[in-house]
Amino acid sequence: MPLSNRNIVSLFFRLILGFVYLSAGFSKFAPDYIGNVIGPSKLPDDLFPIEVLYLFYTMAFLQILAGTLILSLRYAGAGLLVLLPLTTSIFIFTLVAGFGATPIINVILLGITILEVYKEYVIFSKHGLDQSFISYMLRKNEDQYPKKIVHIIVLLIILNFISLPFQYIHLTILLSAALCLLTVILMQLNGLIILDRLSIIIFMLFSLSVINGIWLKELVPNFFYKVLVLIPIGTIIGLLRLVWYRYIIKKQLS
C-alpha cells in the first residue's frame, strides 16, 4: 500500500525544514563555501553590535542542531521541538532587523513547523500515552529508518561542524555525503511509488546544488536559474502524486 498523501507531504515538509535550517546554519559559519536557501550568510561586523552578532551565531548553531535532528528522521520529534521556538525567534529577528523578503519565507517555514508539531500532538492525544507531550517527542524514535546509516549521517554533520575552523571545500563534501546517504535511506522506505522516488531525487539534486552552489556558479553559466527549474518540476510531480492517490482511494471505495 502506498504512503498516504498526508504521510508523504509530512515527509517532504520535514526534509524541507531540515535542509533549509541545516544549510542556513552552516552557511553562517562558512559563507564562502556553503550555500543556503534563506537568510543572510553573514552580517557586517561594523553595522551590528556585538550582542546581535552573538545572537546571530547562536541561532546558526541551533539551526544546525534542529536541521540535523530533523534530517536524521529517527529523531525528528526532538528536532521539531527545537525548531518551533527557533523559527518563531528567527521570524521576529528578521522582521525587526529588516531583512527584506526573508520574514515572508520564515513565516511560511514557521507555519510548516507548527503544522508538523500539531500533527504529532494529534497522534499523541489519540494514543492517550501516560507521559507528557514533550517526553513523547523527545523519545519518539522512527524505527523504520536504519540506525547505522542515520548515525553515520549525524557523524558526518558533527565532523563538518568540528572542522569549521578549517575553512575549505571539505565542508561541502561532508554535507554532500550526508545528503547522499539520506537519499539511500529515503529510497528504501516502504510505500513509495515512482513519483515519490522522482520527487526525492529532484529534492536531493536541488539540495546538493544549493550546498555546492558557491563554486558551481563559477563553472556553470546562469547556474542558479537552471537550479530553480527543479522547483516547478518537483511541484508538478508532487501534485500528480496527490491526485493519483486520491484517484486510487476513490476507486477503492467505489
Is 161 part of any domain?
yes
Domain annotation covers residue 210: no
Q: What is the pTM of this model?
A: 0.90
Residue 1 confidence (pLDDT): 76
Residue 152 lies in a domain: yes
Q: Is residue 49 part of a domain?
A: yes
- Overall number of domains in the chain: 1
Task: Please give the chain's pLDDT, 254 residues, in tens.
Answer: 788 889 999 999 999 999 999 999 999 898 888 988 876 666 655 556 777 778 888 889 999 999 999 999 888 999 999 999 999 988 887 788 777 777 888 899 999 999 999 999 988 888 777 788 888 888 766 667 888 888 999 999 999 999 999 988 899 999 999 999 999 999 988 889 999 999 999 999 999 999 998 888 888 888 888 888 999 999 999 999 999 988 888 777 66
Give the range of the structural domain holding residue 148, as residue numbers without chain letter.
5-188
Q: Which cell goes with 184? A: 539511500
Q: What is d(CA 109, CA 21) in angstroms, rounded to the nearest whole number?
A: 10
Burial class (CB in 10 A: 0-12, 13-18, 19+), 165: exposed
CB 46 within 8 A of CB 39: no
Provide the residue type at 98 as one letter: G
Q: Tell me the C-alpha distance between 109 and 14, whole Å.
A: 10
In a domain, 254, yes or no: no
* Cβ atoms of 224 and 213 closer than 8 Å: yes
Contact 91, 173 (CB under 8 A): no
Cα 170 from chain centre? 21
Sequence-distant (6+) residues with CB within 8 A of 105 are 38
* 244 within domain boundaries: no
Residue 46 within any structural domain of the chain: yes
What pLDDT score does 126 carry?
84
Indicate whether 76 belongs to any domain.
yes
| Closest by CA position to 174, among listed 61, 66, 33, 79 | 33
Instruction: Give CA 187 to chain center in angstroms.
Output: 17
